[in-house]
Structure 1
Amino acid sequence: MVFYDTLRQGLWIAMVISLPILAAALVTGVAIGLLQALTSVQEMTLTFVPKLAAMLAVFWTCMGFMTETLSGFFADRIIPLIAGI
């Protein structure tokens, strides 16, 4: 049971950590897609650069939260399992 609980919590932490970056990519992609549809500009590289910039900005902003969440998971869950506590 401990293995499945740790796996479930690890997957949840991975989802929580990746959610801000994925949400930024989704919102930026939809906005650029709408802009392309309205202006009839179908340039494939036009979506890549704004998405990358938005993802980097969100990553830079949320880096502290992501690090704290992941290190908290390791300190609270993984290290006690390794130490046998």
Structure 2
Amino acid sequence: MTEADFYDTLRQGLWVSVMISTPILMAALVTGVAIGLFQALTSIQEMTLTFVPKLAAIVVVFWLSMAFMTETLADFFSRQLVPLIAGS
């Protein structure tokens, strides 16, 4: 394994982690902005109001994107890491 192979595998692994985490982070961002806007409009300053809906949105998006995440990780493992481990 050359240094270029190592850095290419590292780059692809980081890209896979970005692709996998994007749906969950976007759900948290959108929910947080919506709840923050709601709090600003209604002058409700309750800390738990932001936590519970954001957690619920993250769980729902995680549940919906679980197949995509698993497929992406399995594809990366079988196409990139297994050949490197096997030495071919």
TM-score normalized with structure 2 length: 0.96
Verify: 1:70 aligned to 2:73, yes or no: yes
Q: Where does the alignment leave 5 or more consecutive residues of structure 2 unmatched? A: none
Aligned length: 85
Aligned-partner Cα distance in 1 for 2:52–2:74: 31
Q: Where does the alignment leave 5 or more consecutive residues of structure 1 unmatched? A: none
Structure 1 equivalent of residue 13 of structure 2: 10
Q: State the percentage of identical aligned residues.
A: 72
AA at the equivalent of 1:11: L
Shift of residue 50, structure 1, vs aligned partner? 0.2
Aligned-partner Cα distance in 1 for 2:6–2:47: 44
RMSD: 0.3
Aligned-partner Cα distance in 1 for 2:86–2:45: 56
Q: Deviations over 1:6-32 (max 9, x none)?
A: 000000000000000000000000000
TM-score normalized with structure 1 length: 0.99
Aligned-partner Cα distance in 2 for 1:12–1:30: 26
